[in-house]
Amino acid sequence: MYRAEEENARPPLLNLLIMVTLLTIVVSLYYLIDYYLVRDGSNGKVTWFAPNQSCELSHAPCSAELGRFGRITLALDGDISPLTPLGIRVITEDVAPEGVEVDFIGRHMDMGVKRSLLTTRDAPTQARQHWSGEGQLGFCSSATMAWRAQVIVTTERGRLGSWFDFDSHPPASTAEQLESSVNQLFTREIHIVHKLARACDENCG
């Protein structure tokens, strides 16, 4: 009874200060957890940051913000088509990465993971670093293949990454060869069906 009367006797200002203090503690804990637990590189996971704008990677370099941990820019050099050597360039800003890799995966079809490890000659302390390497897209029978380039940056705080979508188109020679092979296979199957039909007519008659 006495405790309830004591709590009711608290000034409203004191109650407000208590609520503000508790709220401050909760917000501080949130930022501390977010700041320190983002280092999930110890268990191999990647903290993903969605790209902040639409970009056609086959026409121009694309950039993404890694939250408050920096920025990355990806560029592809060469013919973006299957089984063709593809130059990969990544620029990191305010990240200080220990390593950079780019994974190519199919957006709508499981093509496995085509991984490329990049290298740099820049000093580790530089705020802006240039990473480069070479990759290759897998072959697909479709005329157009939807790909996703995942850029993963390994830092002392963990593995951070973002992604960029693009489409690849097979060279004209590859497309023509594929079309010719399909037509030959279709013609052969039709010929076999007709031959079996004639044999059946002769034996059944």
Determine the pLDDT at residue 65. Answer: 93
The answer on pLDDT for 41 being more than 70 is no
- In terms of DSSP bridges, do strands 158-168 and 46-48 run parallel, antiparallel, or are they unpaired? parallel
Kindly tell me if the per-residue pLDDT of 137 is higher than 70. yes
Mean pLDDT on 53-58: 80
CA angle at 146 for the pair 148 and 151, rounded to the nearest 5°:
10
Q: What's the pLDDT band for 133 if we cut at 50, 70, 90?
A: very high
Q: What is the pLDDT of residue 110?
A: 76
pLDDT confidence tier of residue 16, bands split at 50, 70 and 90: confident
Q: Which pLDDT does position 30 carry in this prediction? A: 56
Q: Say which residues have a Cβ less than 8 Å from residue 91's Cβ, sequence separation at least 6.
A: 72, 73, 128, 129, 130, 131
Contact 117, 99 (CB under 8 A): yes
Q: What is the mean pLDDT of the chain?
A: 77
Please, which pLDDT band fits residue 123 given cuts at 50, 70 and 90? confident
Whether the full predicted model's pTM is greater than 0.85, yes or no, is no
What b/e string do you get for 108-146 counting C-beta neighbours within 10 Å, with b at 16 or more?
A: eeebeebebebebeeeeeeeebebbbebebbebeeeebe
Q: What is the DSSP annotation of 67-124?
A: TTS-EEEEEEES--STTS-EEEEEEEES---SEEEEEEEESSS----EEEEEB--S-T
Grade residue 39 by pLDDT with cuts at 50, 70 and 90.
very low
**Tokens 């060469």 — which residue?**
78
pLDDT of residue 37: 44
Answer yes or no: are the C-beta atoms of 98 and 87 closer than 8 Å.
no
* Strand, helix or coil for residue 150: strand
- The predicted structure's pLDDT at residue 12: 73
Tens digit of pLDDT for each residue in 147-205?
899 999 999 888 999 999 988 776 555 445 555 545 555 566 676 666 666 666 666 65
